[in-house]
Amino acid sequence: TDFLEFTLVRLAGGRSMSLADAQEKIEVWRRFYNEARPHSALDWQTPTEFARQSGLKPALSNSKEPEILTSER
């Protein structure tokens, strides 16, 4: 529990954050990291670009770069 609280405070830039808010921010970051950013293993292409170039059907994704600054509103 202490680790979870520490992690939530770090995610919030020193401010407290609800677990639901943290989960939402982590999911946005995870999708961006796995789906929208260029990967070195894909010759610096995004997974969508790689799939299209390889003739594969790309996964549908609306992943955008996550907002780095966080605040609970």
Write the CA distances from 8 to 28, 37, 70, integer angstroms.
Answer: 15, 24, 11
What confidence score (pLDDT) does residue 44 get?
Answer: 95
What confidence score (pLDDT) does residue 73 get?
Answer: 46
**What tokens were used for 40?**
């070195």
Whole-number Å distance between alpha carbons of 70 and 17: 9
pLDDT at 14 over 60: yes
State whether residue 72 is helix, strand or coil.
coil
Q: For 15-70, how does the pLDDT look when each residue is reduced to its tens digit (9 = 90+)?
A: 667 778 878 888 888 888 888 899 999 999 988 889 889 888 766 555 566 565 55
